[in-house]
Copies of this chain bind each other. A is one copy, B any other.
Amino acid sequence: MDVDARAEAWAALQLVPGLTTRALVALLRAFGGPVEVRAASRASLTHFVPGELADAIRGGPDAALLERTLNWLAAPGHWLVAWDDTDYPAPLLTLADPPPGFCYIGRRELLNRPALAIVGSRNATAQGTAHAEAFAAALSAAGLTIVSGLALGIDAAAHRGGLSGAASSIAVVGTGLDRVYPPANRDLAKRLAEHGGLLSEFALGTPPLPGNFPRRNRLISGLSRGVLVVEATLNSGSLITARLAAEQGREVFAIPGSIDSPFSKGSHRLIRDGAKLVETAADVLEELELTLPAEPKVTARDPDPPPDGVPGRVLAALGYDPAGIDILTERTGLSTQAVAAALVELEVSGRVAALPGGSYQRLR
């Protein structure tokens, strides 16, 4: 096992039951470092924390859990990054409550790159995930590391895009790093571990607890220069992340959408409250006073010309909001059969997506 005494002390302190970030920070300030905190006498600890907590610190964490953590840290590409490490992300130090340390898997050099958070709903529309992936790909190619959670929908799409660019992508998760939640993102987590990063301030073994996700959100925004909300319902956690970002002095960006889509209502509320409306990755870069590299990838959405004939008419009638076959029949004056056949053709060519409930959404 090649974990040094300092890393072991950090890991041990992270696992002490009941030791909050605030109390740990007070102790680190008082004693100078994690090794010194662990070596402190009960009497001196109780100047800063209650007696029971002093006992818990001196007793140390559960031995099996510490062993497991040290084993995990011994594996290649696994790290405990503490605030006195040179790789500790500088932007986190501007927060009111930066984590004293966090577990990390992946490329450490990504931790201090300029970063942009991309967040949104789990049940995003096909257009929403396409936008998240396209913006992330363009911004990562332009040198911004993408930061998001590890949820389905927008989060996963943002990482797929981020991984495709040079600046890659980091997932900040709400569980211990020895777990992947949700399990459906196992392959994505593996790719992030190899080519990007996975970050958690929670101890190994921490299950997905609802209370931990809002806390996690402050790191998503805290690591980033700004937060881009792609699609969000009015009760989406993304709005919490956006609010935290504003409080942390980060930029907030939002992609607008149809006023008929519940997945755009959150973005629209943010824009009304002062978020920047963005239509392209270049808009984000401009606002952050960065520039796209010579060959921008983001607007290359539609290299092939629009279809002719009946499919072309149906696509034009569909516009950019979801619509059902009945509406399209009415708008085009075509028969139901003709519209249905055109929709199949458009779906096969990747122009439209069928939505639950029988309506169709234009993709490009």
Q: Is the CB of B277 within 8 A of A319?
A: no
A232-258 to B contact mask, C-beta < 8 Å, 1/0: 000000000000000000000001111
Compute how far the CA of A319 lies from the CA of B128 in the bound complex, rounded to whole angstroms: 9
- Asked if A40 is an interface residue, CB under 8 A from chain B, the answer is no
Q: Is the CB of A127 within 8 A of B279?
A: no
- Residue positions of A touching B, CB distance < 8 A: 125-128, 131, 255-261, 264-265, 268, 271-272, 276-280, 301, 317, 319-321, 323, 327, 331, 362, 364
Please give 4 more A-B residue pairs, beta carbons under 8 A apart, in addition to A127-B321, A128-B319, A257-B321. Answer: A126-B331, A256-B259, A256-B268, A256-B271
Q: Is the CB of B258 within 8 A of A268?
A: no
Q: Is the CB of A319 within 8 A of B271?
A: no
Compute how far the CA of A128 lies from the CA of B323 in the bound complex, rounded to whole angstroms: 13
Nearest Cβ in chain B — how far from A22, in angstroms?
A: 39
Compute how far the CA of A260 lies from the CA of B276 in the bound complex, rounded to whole angstroms: 17
Q: Is the CB of A317 within 8 A of B258?
A: no
Q: Is the CB of B279 within 8 A of A364?
A: no
Nearest Cβ in chain B — how far from A234, in angstroms?
A: 11
Compute how far the CA of A265 lies from the CA of B299 in the bound complex, rounded to whole angstroms: 14
7 smallest beta-carbon distances between A and B, as pairs? A256-B256, A258-B320, A125-B319, A261-B320, A259-B279, A127-B321, A127-B319
Q: Is the CB of A127 within 8 A of B256?
A: no
**A271-B271, A272-B277, A277-B271 as given contacts; A257 in contact with B320, CB under 8 Å:** yes
**A268-B277, A277-B268 as given contacts; A261 in contact with B319, CB under 8 Å:** yes
Q: Is the CB of B256 within 8 A of A321?
A: no
List residues of chain B with CB within 8 A of the CB of A277.
Answer: 256, 268, 271-272, 277
List residues of chain B with CB within 8 A of the CB of A128.
Answer: 319
List residues of chain B with CB within 8 A of the CB of A320.
Answer: 125, 127, 257-258, 260-261, 264
A258: which of B127, B278, B280, B331 is its contact (CB, 8 Å)? B127
Q: Is the CB of B261 within 8 A of A268?
A: no
List residues of chain B with CB within 8 A of the CB of A323.
Answer: 126
Q: Is the CB of B321 within 8 A of A260?
A: no
Nearest Cβ in chain B — how far from A155, in angstroms?
A: 18
A279: which of B268, B279, B301, B362 is its contact (CB, 8 Å)? B268
Nearest Cβ in chain B — how far from A91, in angstroms?
A: 26
List residues of chain B with CB within 8 A of the CB of A276.
Answer: 272
20 intermolecular pairs with C-beta atoms under 8 Å apart = A125-B319, A126-B317, A126-B319, A126-B331, A128-B319, A131-B259, A256-B271, A256-B277, A257-B257, A257-B259, A257-B321, A258-B258, A258-B321, A259-B280, A260-B301, A261-B320, A264-B320, A265-B279, A268-B279, A272-B277
A259: which of B255, B260, B271, B319 is its contact (CB, 8 Å)? B255
Q: Is the CB of B260 within 8 A of A264?
A: no
List residues of chain B with CB within 8 A of the CB of A272.
Answer: 276-277
Q: Is the CB of A260 within 8 A of B319?
A: no
List residues of chain B with CB within 8 A of the CB of A257.
Answer: 256-259, 320-321
List residues of chain B with CB within 8 A of the CB of A280.
Answer: 259
List residues of chain B with CB within 8 A of the CB of A261.
Answer: 319-320
